[in-house]
Amino acid sequence: MPDKDFEINKDHGDLVDSYRQCFSTNEGEKVLKDLKAAYGDRSSYSNDSHDTAYKEGQRSVYLRIFNLIKERKE
């Protein structure tokens, strides 16, 4: 019977590899730089709580991408 933890870790490692491959190209680096400028280097705060949540959602997508491509292989 396959070890579920191994499968999850392997799938995660494959996903990290895919993100790295995608964002290591010249085009991917340009897109990541744009995402950082648009969503990573700004405050999510707004007087409108819905707007704050929306902006924080955008920022969290950028952070997920950034963290996955910076993650070390186990």
How many domains does the chain contain in total?
Answer: 1
- Of 13, 68, 9, which Cα lies nearest the Cα of 35? 68
Query: pLDDT digit string (tens) for 45-74?
Result: 999 999 999 999 999 999 999 999 998 654
CA distance 55 to 29: 22
Can you give the pLDDT at residue 43?
92
CA distance 45 to 17: 33
Query: What pTM value is reported for the model?
Result: 0.79
Can you give the pLDDT at residue 45?
95
Structural domain that includes position 30: 4-70
- DSSP secondary structure of the chain: ---HHHHHHHHHHHHHHHHHHHHTSHHHHHHHHHHIIIIISS----SSHHHHHHHHHHHHHHHHHHHHHHPPP-
